[in-house]
Amino acid sequence: MRTRFVLNKISTVCFLLTATVCFSAADSGTVRYEVKADRRTGQLIRSAVTVTPKVIAPIEVGLSAAPAPAPVSAENRIDQIVQAASAHYKVDPLLVHAVISVESNYNARAISPAGAQGLMQLMPGTARDLGVRNSFDAEENIRAGVRHLRDLQDKYKDDRLALAAYNAGAGAVNKYGWIPPYRETQDYVYRVGKKYGEARKASAVNRTQTATASPQSEVPKPPEHRPIEVFTDTEGRIHLRTK
């Protein structure tokens, strides 16, 4: 009985030592030592056990992303390019919009039977002369088209002739000294001129309405009244009269 009691005590001590060493070694995360009692001899045996630490992937906490800007519509994008190019070359943007509307109806991939390309329908030769690498790129096409239109305006000093030259070429305008007698060119000048005139009229109306509109915050002034004079006559009576 005494021998069994001693063995039980030894086992208890070994268990406590083993648990203590294991927990201490687990904290290191590399190597731990185990102490066990040999079942036959009762001797304590110490052994090293390699522990592979468990790697926990870090949790990435990012800042909340800023809301993406609202996409710009194709119409607004084209108008932005027109406004910028028109301001640079000093051409009325309303005229540029009229040309684009008649030339391609705002189709950046348009190709005419004659081979003109893009929004402002640049002929390949004209595009090369103006340094255009891609006539189907809206910005390249519009900037080159507005520049070409500005050159024609400076040359002929008349928007009708500039438009005729834009459509039929400067050679045809020089040959006839006026709008060439081509049905297509004459129709082109008329259509662009009509759209341009309508746009200018609408713009003028909008400016007039904006200028004459009364601000909502304006408070009407109260009517002016003449001052009242109070006086007493010789009999002590009080009288009121306006000055």
- Which of 145, 156, 155, 143 lies closest to 102, judged by CA? 145
How does strand 31-37 pair with strand 44-50?
Answer: antiparallel
Measured at the alpha carbon of residue 103, what is the angle toward residues 101 and 107, in degrees to the nearest 5?
70
CB atoms within 10 A of CB 122: 24
- Which of 121, 83, 117 lies closest to 99, judged by CA? 121
Q: Which residue has the tokens 């030259």?
A: 165
Catalytic residue among 60, 103, 184, 198: 103
Q: In the annotation, is 224 catalytic?
A: no
* DSSP H or E segment with residue 238: strand 238-242
Residue 228 pairs in a beta bridge with 242
Contact 141, 108 (CB under 8 A): yes
Name the residues annotated as catalytic.
103
